[in-house]
Structure formats: structure tokens, C-alpha cells
Amino acid sequence: MNAASSPSRKRWPWVALALVLVVVAGVFIKRPATSAETTEAPEDAAPKPSLTVTVAKPVRSSLPIRLQANGNITAWQEASVGAEVSGLRLASVSVNVGDVVRKGQVLAVFANETTKADSLQSQANLMQAEASFENAKAEADRARSIQDTGALSKSQMAQYLTQEKVARAQWEAAKAAFGATEVRLGNTRVLAPDDGVISARGATVGAVVGAGQELFRMIRQSRMEWRGEVTPSEVGRIRIGQKVQVTAATGLEIDGQVRAIAPSADPQTRNILVFVDLPRHAELKAGTFAKGSFDLGESDSLTVDSQSIVVRDGSNYVFVIDEQNKANQRKVQTGRRVAERVEVLEGLKPEEAVAVQGAGFLNEADLVKVVQ
């Protein structure tokens, strides 16, 4: 009896220890988690905004109506300065391309030794012809004084009068010849025909040129004009005297005025030239490209701040912020841009508010925080 119960007594402590461990484990399993042990937020917590933005509603603005065109800057008028003498050598050239000259200024000088000699000879011939005329006139006056006395026959009287006329004609011819040599001598000095700037030079010192050969080309009065090309459908909106803003290749913006409109279109481009007078400016160069903007008045348009326009994939978008402060991406069609305002033609209603600052970082359905 005692021997049989001895193993049972030995197992009881182990069974009791196992029961205690099971009870302790159950307590830990059922114990609620503390705040420090909780790793997940409550399911009903509010989402946080992803970005802070400012919003504004579109406004009605008066924007200018402009017609854009391309063209070239050219000289208002060009003058060709050529040689009026032939067979003479260029002794000196005093101007170069880009030089500003005044009317009557000496541009070049030809060697004038031969011309001076011709002028002196013509002057001598003139003096001789004048002396012959005075002698013939004196003889004719004496003949006329005794004409009524019968001392001279009619044939003698006619001879004296004829000699006077011949001598007068020779004197006049000598004067004309002398004047021609003086003109030729004066033409050895090439003068500027008007105020302007030298745009081309063909004169070379030592060259012997022919009459009519171009030595210089100059832009008269240093005036430039812009020749804009417009289509036949657009030319009807342009008027003489209309203001035009011209932007040169250097970025210079200058105001011009329509002077004339070509009566016919170019046979190749089918465009019509509009001639626009430009004020004098050192940056304007003939032959350069320029853009023009014709002022056609003003019109009211729906506009937004330029920061609201987001360009993605080649299209323009704005982000409309709804009452729940969610961003809705909206594709819009834009028009004119003036300063910081952009015209919206389609895709936006006047009462809708759009994101301004921070719009470029938004995506569809983003939750935002709106600040003033």
C-alpha cells in the first residue's frame, strides 16, 4: 500500500506547477494592451492634408486684343552713292560701313590733276571766246552807227552782224564747256546725298572706276521699318496709324506705327506686307528677324493667376479645390497672357476656386490645407 502510493505523491508537485503556468498565461493573454503597447491608430482618426496651398477664384479682367505676326527689319530707304566720273583713280576713302554721315559730307575723293588741267584749258578757251565776241560786237556796233550814211553796203553790214552772232555763240559754247569741266572737277569729291548711316562700301583706294559704279550704299536718315507678314484674312483688322509693338531679335521691345499696307500679296507666301515705322535705335539692324503685335483694342475675359496653370504632358491644367479641400485636376484651354494673369477660354467656371501657390505639386484627389 505504501509502496504503491509513493509514485503518486511524487507527481503531484509537477501537476500543480503546470496548472499555475496555464493560469498565468491566460491572464497575460486576456490583459488589455496599454497605450504604449498600441501600435496602430484608431480606425476613426481623420486623414492629414498632404500640402498647404492658397486658393483664388477666377476674375474678370480687361485684356488687350493683339494680332501676332512675323517679319524682318529693313531700311526705310536706301540710297546708292556712285561715281559720276570715269577713268579716274580713287585717291582716298574717308568712311566705312556703320559710319553715321551728314548730308554733303565728303565720302571719297578721286585724283583730280587731269580734271584740273581740263578746267584750266576750258577757262582759257572761255576767255579767248569772250575777247573774240567783244571785238566782233564792237565792229558790229560801229557798222550799225554808220548804217544810215550809205558808207557800207548791205552785204558788208550783214557780214559784221553775222560775225557778232558767231562770236556770241562761240562764247556761250566756251562758257558751257568751262561749266562742264567745273562740274567734272566737283564730282571728284563724292558727297553724301542725305543724312544716314553707311550700310555697304564698294570703294577701294587706288581703284579706277567707271561712271555710275556704286561706291557706297547708305540708309537714309538712319530710319528703320518693320515689314510684317499677315494673311489676307487678318489684314482687314489693321489700319494706317495703328500702334504695333515690335520685339527685335535682341529682345528689344519698341513701339512702332503702321505707315502703309501693301496693295497686293506676295506671290510665293500669299501674305501681305504691312510697313511699320520704327523710331531710331542703335540695336535695330537691317535684315534681322522681329516679331510684331498689333493692338486691336480690349475685351473682358476670365483670368487666373499664372501660378495656377500647371503644364503636364503638353496640356494646361488647374486644380479646383472643393468644399472638402480635395484637389480636382481640370484640363483648361488658355489664351492671352498679360503680366501675371492668364486667360482661361474653356474648362473652368467663374465660381470655382483654384489652387494658386503650391499648385504645381498637387495630384488628383490630394487633400490640402487652405491658407490665406
Judge if 310 and 288 occupy the same domain.
Answer: no
12 lies in a domain? no
Q: Specify the DSSP class assigned to residue 34.
A: P
In the prediction, which pLDDT does 298 show?
Answer: 86
45 lies in a domain? no
Judge if 72 and 99 occupy the same domain.
Answer: no
Judge if 264 and 349 occupy the same domain.
Answer: no
Q: Specify the DSSP class assigned to residue 181.
A: H
User: Which cell numbers hold the place of 361?
Assistant: 505639386
> Given CA atoms 212, 214, 219, 225 in this order, what sign does their dihedral have?
positive
In the prediction, which pLDDT does 40 show?
Answer: 46
- Residue 206, phi-psi category: left (phi > 0), alpha (psi -120 to 50), beta (remainder): left
Judge if 94 and 150 occupy the same domain.
Answer: yes
Q: How many domains does the chain have?
A: 3
- Mean pLDDT, 10 residues at a time, the chain of 372 residues: 47 60 51 44 63 91 89 93 90 93 95 90 93 91 81 83 92 93 91 94 91 92 94 92 93 94 93 95 91 89 93 93 92 90 92 92 90 81
* Cα distance between residue 334 and residue 73, in whole Å: 31
CB burial class (10 A; 0-12, 13-18, 19+) of residue 109? middle
Nearest to 296 by CA among 344, 336, 252: 336
Spell 158-176 as b/e; 16+ CB within 10 A means b.
Answer: eebbebbeebbebbeebee
Q: Where is the domain boundary, 166, 188, 209?
A: 209
Judge if 173 and 95 occupy the same domain.
Answer: yes
29 lies in a domain? no
CB 280 within 8 Å of CB 300: no
Q: What is the CATH number of the domain that holds 58?
A: 2.40.420.20
1 lies in a domain? no
In the prediction, which pLDDT does 276 show?
Answer: 96
Neighbours of 264 (CB within 10 A): 7
Judge if 58 and 117 occupy the same domain.
Answer: no
Nearest to 200 by CA among 74, 278, 95: 95
User: Which cell numbers hold the place of 304?
Assistant: 487666373
Residue whose C-alpha cell is 476656386: 353
Judge if 192 and 258 occupy the same domain.
Answer: no
In the prediction, which pLDDT does 26 show?
Answer: 53
Q: Where is the domain boundary, 296, 318, 351?
A: 296
Range of the domain at 56: 51-64+299-370
Judge if 241 and 151 occupy the same domain.
Answer: no
Judge if 177 and 91 occupy the same domain.
Answer: yes
Q: Where is the domain boundary, 235, 263, 296?
A: 296
In the prediction, which pLDDT does 165 show?
Answer: 93
Q: Specify the DSSP class assigned to residue 326.
A: B
Judge if 281 and 315 occupy the same domain.
Answer: no
Element holding 10 (H helix, E strand): helix 2-30
39 lies in a domain? no
- Residue 297, phi-psi category: left (phi > 0), alpha (psi -120 to 50), beta (remainder): left
22 lies in a domain? no
Judge if 169 and 266 occupy the same domain.
Answer: no
